Amino acid sequence: MKQHANNKGIRLKNWSTGEVLYDTLHSTSNVKALNCRSTICTANHMNTIKEVKPIRTGDAVLDDAKKFIDEFYASIEK
C-alpha cells in the first residue's frame, strides 16, 4: 500500500476489474496498528487485550454517526 503523492489516500487496486480507488478513511481512524509494516498488516488478527475506554456521551456518538453517514454518502455519490 502506497500513500498517493497528492494526499488522496492509500491507492487500492481491484486486480479483477482494474479499478483503482483511494482509501481516505484510514487516516481518520482511532485504531492503533497491530504489527503493521509496509509489506504486511496483521490488523485482521483478533486483539485479545481488553482496552478500557472512557464512556462517550450521547452527543459525541451522534456527532461521529453523522460524520460517518456524511462521508459514506459523499463517497458513493462520486
pLDDT at 19 (0 to 100) = 93
What is residue 78's predicted lDDT score, i.e. its pLDDT? 64
Q: Which amino acid is at 47?
A: N
Query: Which domain covers residue 31, as residue numbers?
Result: 10-76
Asked if the structure places residue 2 within a domain, the reply is no
In a domain, 61, yes or no: yes
Burial class, 9, CB count within 10 angstroms (exposed 0-12 / middle 13-18 / buried 19+): middle
pTM of the predicted structure, to 2 decimals: 0.35
Number of helices (H), then strands (E), belonging to the chain: the values are 1, 2
Per the CB < 8 A criterion, the answer to whether 71 and 25 are in contact is yes
> For residue 59, is it within any domain?
yes
What pLDDT, in 10s, does the model give residues 34-73? Answer: 566 666 666 665 556 667 788 999 999 999 999 999 999 9
Q: What local confidence, expressed as pLDDT, does residue 1 receive?
A: 45
The number of distinct structural domains making up the chain is 1
Q: What is the pLDDT of residues 2-46, one digit of tens each?
A: 444 456 678 889 999 999 988 887 666 655 555 666 666 666 655
